[in-house]
Amino acid sequence: MAAEPMAVRQTLTPAERIRRVLRHRAELLAAVQGFQYALTMPVAQPDWRRAVAAELPHLRAAFAAHVELTEGPDGLYAEVLADAPRLVRRVNSLGSEHAAVSAALEALARRVDADPERVRSWGSDLLRALSSHRQRGADLIHEAYATDLGGET
């Protein structure tokens, strides 16, 4: 998924921005599920490694699109901070996770020819990190836009 140019992003209505985020979330989830399916195939299958290697670029591209959508001056995190500056630490933490997950994706791509059980272990670790990251991102959005802090009359 390619991120929209900055001019397009600035003209989106709030409803369009939400639809864009939801669409992207679904695309990232589909890439995660495709990789997970390949990873959990029996390693004795002759095309196991090829299936894992074929799904990894899709996952890498989907995650790169996620980073582009969320970071930067017009990204989702900037929007969250404009609306809920109290969440700066959580936004920074999610940004740091981007670097860690990206590094894990790169490392796995370089080591996809290693012992299948090691590849499966590294891939499983990566999937757990992605799942946690996605949940923390959803929690951030919920806290930014659905949490009533009180004190208003």
Cα–Cα dist 143/46, whole Å: 46
Is 6 part of a structural domain of the chain? no
pTM: 0.85
Is 64 part of a structural domain of the chain? yes
3-state class of 102 per DSSP?
helix
Range of the domain at 87: 12-144
Kindly report the CATH number assigned to the domain that includes residue 90: 1.20.120
Q: What is the pLDDT of residues 7-61, one digit of tens each?
A: 444 577 777 877 888 899 999 999 999 999 999 999 999 999 999 999 999 999 9
Nearest alpha carbon to residue 60 among 105, 100, 124, 23 = 105
